[in-house]
A and B are shown apart, each in its own frame.
Chain A
């Protein structure tokens, strides 16, 4: 099986909607990559999101002050665990590996997905935290949406555990930026 190239992955991620990720990617159109369906398509979308989340924390970890760096290190390690779980699940389904985008490319893709740059140049800690909050709400939205589309019970259980982790990140980041951490009884994130 042919591994997807980094550019293919980035084009696919940046070309929202993510629901059509590989079906719309140039590699898939050219027959070089499989058109994914069902759970394989859903976890591929989720892994793409997690790659971008990890890149966001890597960026904040380099640019932020000590408080932001500590938070980015902790939550970034959670993203790495989510990525590993999804990569393992994809491998089990026989899907070719998805290459990890560079940080710069991932930030471009995040800007496309969110409709704005989450981390403008010369951003201070407050801006970095607001950017991370936007990214986490987008990640949460993806996982809540996936709960309705995944079918494998084991993947659904993993989805429950990961979306709960993202919800906790959201609550912490809302507090960090001075927002109400519990604004709604049913939280579906954003951009699902």
Chain B
């Protein structure tokens, strides 16, 4: 929720944000890092590390489930791979090196319960990152990934017999 104090405190950030639009680099040049660009690269790196963990989880989990649940997990894997690729591309465009993907995958338990925890974490990660990204194009990319992660959360909740869309403000917490 927005309060008056929060809005006033945030006013100085407007000047910083106005400087954050990054041009697409040419193939032969690496853009010089800027304070805003460095901060964006750090946010992208954290999001990519999360997506790579999600890919590892779903790659293992999809192989352990059958039928409709297996199909859902395979779709989620496909989406997380696409998110990782988009973030990797954005990082490389800023001259940053993407993190190495983790080796470990799903370690047991109910794959859908694991998916529920992971998708909550995803929503929380993008909800946290969105206000920190300076480049408007990156914010739109993060918003479109967040939308998909929230859809994942609704579908997983539904498959677990829970209310798929219980809250007006979705934060990734246990209730929302």
Which of B126, B137, B151 has its CB near the most chain A CB atoms (within 10 A)?
A: B151
Interface size class of A (residues with CB under 8 A): 35 or more
Docked complex Cα distance between A156 and B132 (Å): 9
B82 contacts A185, C-beta separation under 8 Å: yes
A187 contacts B144, C-beta separation under 8 Å: yes
Identify A187's interface contact among B78, B139, B148, B155, CB under 8 A.
Answer: B148
Identify A165's interface contact among B9, B86, B158, B168, CB under 8 A.
Answer: B168
Which A153-187 residues have C-beta < 8 A from chain B?
Answer: 153-172, 175, 181-182, 184-187
Q: Is A15 at the interface (CB under 8 A from chain B)?
A: no
Q: Is A58 at the interface (CB under 8 A from chain B)?
A: no
Which B1-54 residues have C-beta < 8 A from chain A?
Answer: 1-4, 6-11, 13-14, 17-18
B155 contacts A181, C-beta separation under 8 Å: yes
A153 contacts B13, C-beta separation under 8 Å: yes
B131 contacts A153, C-beta separation under 8 Å: yes
Which B143-176 residues have C-beta < 8 A from chain A?
Answer: 143-155, 158, 164-165, 167-171, 176
A185 contacts B79, C-beta separation under 8 Å: yes
Docked complex Cα distance between A143 and B168 (Å): 14
Identify B3's interface contact among A75, A92, A160, CB under 8 A.
Answer: A92
A184 contacts B2, C-beta separation under 8 Å: no
Q: Which residue of chain A has its CB nearest to the CB of B72?
A: A182
How many pairs of A and B residues are in contact by the CB < 8 Å rule? 173
Chain B contact surface mostly: helix
Min Cβ gap B84→A in Å is 10
Which of A82, A89, A147 has its CB near the most chain B CB atoms (within 10 A)?
A: A147
Min Cβ gap B85→A in Å is 9
Docked complex Cα distance between A24 and B143 (Å): 28
A158 contacts B1, C-beta separation under 8 Å: yes
Min Cβ gap A98→B in Å is 16
| B residues less than 8 Å from A66 (CB atoms) | none
A148 contacts B136, C-beta separation under 8 Å: yes
| B residues less than 8 Å from A154 (CB atoms) | 2-3, 6-7, 9-10, 131
Docked complex Cα distance between A33 and B113 (Å): 52
Q: Is B118 at the interface (CB under 8 A from chain A)?
A: no
Identify B168's interface contact among A77, A160, A187, A189, CB under 8 A.
Answer: A77
Given A144-B147, A148-B137, A162-B169, verify A185-B78 contact (CB < 8 Å): yes
| B residues less than 8 Å from A182 (CB atoms) | 75-76, 79, 148, 151-152, 155
Q: Is A47 at the interface (CB under 8 A from chain B)?
A: no
Q: Is A105 at the interface (CB under 8 A from chain B)?
A: no
Docked complex Cα distance between A172 and B156 (Å): 11
Q: Which residue of chain A has its CB nearest to the CB of B13?
A: A153
Closest 9 CB pairs of A and B: A185-B82, A164-B170, A147-B143, A168-B165, A164-B150, A81-B168, A153-B131, A78-B168, A156-B131
